């Protein structure tokens, strides 16, 4: 239930009586709640906007939803009736109607899909954090969400890893890392370096890829074991930052379907030295390039083809598909969408693109070995949090829980708090910020609220008219925004809208906390304030859940 729109519609209705169909806008802080800038009426009435605003303000009928409708210069400002506001917000939040959204059917959200050649690094981490958060918000909005990870076990990168494991691993080598992703990445790094310098190695890797696609049992076995192991390392890291993937789809399982798909695309195909590509000139689609290769000269499949097969597979489940991808995939995605349009016109594909996370001195790359691993960042955050809480009298178990929750939530938030299309330059102190606009700030605020509730018994009754302090009213208004925030995050496919909301909600609660004592107030005020704190914790729980930020009762 969208509470703010109830008030907005009331305002629009009042204006309809003047023949004004332009909708009111949200007013700036200090100018009421909604406003109608009257400039656009100036020509029609041949009067200056301020005069028009004044005229309307004099004639307009108020109703129970508004206290005051006044002209301020050329603006007509609407002030919401506070009692009506507190009544509606408290009631609908406490009985959870504010969290009810229409059911919207299935959607597949693909995210992360990092090559299983090594540990997740901080550059890659933007994908699961944005993807998982988007999936959570879609769920909240009423979608039935399935998240998927496309496991690239068929391409050149993975063949490089397999070749490396087969040829470079020896029993004398110390493999101190306990996680496979960290243990095996060295072979990938060495093998790709060798392939660059040595034509024979490169040829062998291509041979490996070919044999793997052809289904050679020994290689299949090796891949299943070792890639599976790297992947379990990656998913363990993901779990540490509260990311759970519903389904892993291995690329190699799709290769058998590719022949059939290609036969349907025959009329758009061209051949060059035995390699096949889709010619976008034949599709009459203008992209930055025309040739999208499906098969190599040696007959092995290419990512573009496998991705077509994968998306058709997704489309069997639902036509609504959302891909979370780095901005480097934009051209690929546009081409993919065009091809899928031919194969299944009902497919509704959307993409959430994000820009890269780089290091101050340039790109992060597993292959080049200059990446900051996500596991290391989490460990570092854990240490930092431990340092802060070690003298606060928690037992070891609690300490570990709190420090881990703080570290992982802080990392998630530092990514989510930036608009997706802005690039991020990684800095340790920024990624692990615990003050100001950060997850720990939000978690701390929540813990404060919980602490109040834990110190009192509440009868469940309240008189909403007791809430009159400006910081009570502001908090109520912000709570009322929740459904709008969810909807906007979904419509714009932008989790950061939710992240910004979490911060403003926490900030506003802290203002309330400072000015409006709960437990020491007279009984009626106390009960109303408890209701408000309760409402706040309910909304905040949903917000934190949307963002994948852990909730702590104490910290």
Partner RNA sequence: GGGCGCGUGGCCUAGCAUGGAUAGGGCACCAGCCUUCUAAGCUGGGAAUCCCGGGUUCAAAUCCCGGCGCGCCCGCCA
Q: DSSP letters of 182-216?
A: HHHHHHHHHHHHHHHH-HHHHHHHHHHHHHHHHT-
For residue 321, report the phi and psi dihedrals to the nearest 5 degrees: -130, 130
Closer residue to RNA (CB): 268 or 503: 503
- Using the rule CB under 7 A, which residue among 80, 205, 402, 411 binds RNA? 402
Residues 536-555 interacting with RNA (rule: CB under 7 A): 552-555
Q: Which stretch binds RNA (CB under 7 A): 85-93, 168-176, 443-451, 460-468?
A: 443-451
Q: With both helix axes pointing from N to C terminus, report the angle between 199-214 and 217-240 in degrees, rounded to the nearest 10.
A: 90
Q: Which stretch binds RNA (CB under 7 A): 7-15, 23-31, 172-180, 255-263?
A: 23-31
Q: Smallest gap, in angstroms, from Cβ of residue 174 to RNA?
A: 30
184-188 contact pairs (CB < 8 A, 24+): 184/118, 184/226, 184/229, 184/230, 185/117, 185/118, 185/119, 185/230, 185/366, 187/161, 188/117, 188/118, 188/157, 188/160, 188/161, 188/164, 188/366, 188/367
- Using the rule CB under 7 A, which residue among 284, 422, 459, 523 binds RNA? 422
What are the structure tokens assigned to 476, written together?
């109520």
Burial pattern 267-288, b for ≥16 Cβ within 10 A else e, equals: ebeeeeeebbbbbbeebebeee
Direct distance between the N- and C-terminal alpha carbons of the chain, in angstroms, rounded to an integer: 33
By CB under 7 A, residue 39 contacts RNA: yes
* Closest by CA position to 424, among listed 126, 73, 17, 47: 126
Q: Smallest gap, in angstroms, from Cβ of residue 339 to RNA?
A: 13
Q: Smallest gap, in angstroms, from Cβ of residue 447 to RNA?
A: 3
β-sheet with 105-110: strand ranges across: 247-250, 143-151, 105-110, 320-326, 348-354
By CB under 7 A, residue 473 contacts RNA: no
Closer residue to RNA (CB): 92 or 485: 485
Residues 306-345 interacting with RNA (rule: CB under 7 A): 326-332
Closer residue to RNA (CB): 144 or 380: 380
- Using the rule CB under 7 A, which residue among 22, 379, 425, 458 binds RNA? 425
Rounded distance between C-alpha atoms, residue 326 and residue 340, angstroms = 20
Q: Smallest gap, in angstroms, from Cβ of residue 527 to RNA?
A: 13
What are the structure tokens assigned to 301, written together?
């499949």
Q: Smallest gap, in angstroms, from Cβ of residue 374 to RNA?
A: 18
One symbol per residue from 146 to 165: x for binding RNA (CB under 7 A), - otherwise; what is it?
Answer: ------x-xxxx--------
Q: Smallest gap, in angstroms, from Cβ of residue 294 to RNA?
A: 9
By CB under 7 A, residue 218 contacts RNA: no
Q: Smallest gap, in angstroms, from Cβ of residue 248 to RNA?
A: 14
Q: Smallest gap, in angstroms, from Cβ of residue 366 to RNA?
A: 12
Per rule CB under 7 A, count of chain residues that contact RNA: 98
By CB under 7 A, residue 252 contacts RNA: no
Q: Smallest gap, in angstroms, from Cβ of residue 328 to RNA?
A: 4
Residues 342-381 interacting with RNA (rule: CB under 7 A): 355-356, 358, 363
By CB under 7 A, residue 283 contacts RNA: no
- Using the rule CB under 7 A, which residue among 1, 269, 275, 347 binds RNA? 275
By CB under 7 A, residue 248 contacts RNA: no
By CB under 7 A, residue 208 contacts RNA: no
By CB under 7 A, residue 46 contacts RNA: no
By CB under 7 A, residue 286 contacts RNA: no
Rounded distance between C-alpha atoms, residue 439 and residue 540, angstroms = 12
By CB under 7 A, residue 193 contacts RNA: no
* Closest by CA position to 443, among listed 379, 529, 503, 519: 503
Rounded distance between C-alpha atoms, residue 181 and residue 510, angstroms = 42
* Closest by CA position to 544, among listed 491, 505, 513, 512: 505
Rounded distance between C-alpha atoms, residue 159 and residue 152, angstroms = 10
Three-class SS state of 505: helix
């Amino acid at each position: 239930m969208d509470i703010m729109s109830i008030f907005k519609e009331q305002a629009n209705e009042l204006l309809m009586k003047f023949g004004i169909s332009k909708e009111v806008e949200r007013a700036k802080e200090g100018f009421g709640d909604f406003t109608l800038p009257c400039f656009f009426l100036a020509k029609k009435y041949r009067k200056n906007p301020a005069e028009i605003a004044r005229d309307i303000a004099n004639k307009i009928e108020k109703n129970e939803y508004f206290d005051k409708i006044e002209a301020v210069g050329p603006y007509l400002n609407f002030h919401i009736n506070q009692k009506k506001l507190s009544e509606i917000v408290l009631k609908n939040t406490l009985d959870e109607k504010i969290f009810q959204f229409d059911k919207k059917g299935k959607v597949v959200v693909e995210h992360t899909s990092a090559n299983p050649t090594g540990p997740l690094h901080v550059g890659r981490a933007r994908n699961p954090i944005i993807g998982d958060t988007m999936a959570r918000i879609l769920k909240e909005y009423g979608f039935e969400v399935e998240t998927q990870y496309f496991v690239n076990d068929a391409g050149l990168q993975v063949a490089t890893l397999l070749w490396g494991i087969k040829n470079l691993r020896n029993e004398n080598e110390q493999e101190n890392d306990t996680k496979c992703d960290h243990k095996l990445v060295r072979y990938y790094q060495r093998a790709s370096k060798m392939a660059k310098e040595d034509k024979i190695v490169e040829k062998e890797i291509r041979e490996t890829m070919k044999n793997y696609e052809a289904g050679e049992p020994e290689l299949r076995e090796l891949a299943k074991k070792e890639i599976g192991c790297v992947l379990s390392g990656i998913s363990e890291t993901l779990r540490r930052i509260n990311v759970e993937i519903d389904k892993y789809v291995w690329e190699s399982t799709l290769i058998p379907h590719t022949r059939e798909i290609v036969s349907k695309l025959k009329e758009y195909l061209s051949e060059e030295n035995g390699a096949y590509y889709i010619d976008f000139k034949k599709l009459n689609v203008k992209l930055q390039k025309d040739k999208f290769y499906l098969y190599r000269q040696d007959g092995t499949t290419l990512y573009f083809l496998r991705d077509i097969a994968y998306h058709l597979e997704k489309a069997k489940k639902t036509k609504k598909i959302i891909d979370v991808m780095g901005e480097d995939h934009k051209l690929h995605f546009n081409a993919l969408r065009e091809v899928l349009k031919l194969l299944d016109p009902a497919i509704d594909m959307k993409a959430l693109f994000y820009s890269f996370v780089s290091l101050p001195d340039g790109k992060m790359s597993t292959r080049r070995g200059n990446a900051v691993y996500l596991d290391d960042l989490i460990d570092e955050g854990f240490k930092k949090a431990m340092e802060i809480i070690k003298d606060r009298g928690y037992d070891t178990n609690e300490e570990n829980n709190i420090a881990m929750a703080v570290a992982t939530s802080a990392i998630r938030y530092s990514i989510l708090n930036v608009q997706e299309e802005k690039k991020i330059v990684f800095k340790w102190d920024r990624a692990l910020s615990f003050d100001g606009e950060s997850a720990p700030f939000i978690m701390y605020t929540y813990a404060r609220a919980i602490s109040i509730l834990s110190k009192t018994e509440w009868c469940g009754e309240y008189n909403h008219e007791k809430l009159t302090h400006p910081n009570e009213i502001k908090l109520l208004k912000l709570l009322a925004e929740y459904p709008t925030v969810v909807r906007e995050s979904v419509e714009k496919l932008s989790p950061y809208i939710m992240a910004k909301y979490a911060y403003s909600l926490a900030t506003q609660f802290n203002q309330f906390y400072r000015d409006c004592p709960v437990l020491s107030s007279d009984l009626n005020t106390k009960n109303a304030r408890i209701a408000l704190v309760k409402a706040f914790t309910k909304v905040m729980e949903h917000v934190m859940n949307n963002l994948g930020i852990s909730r702590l009762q104490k910290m």
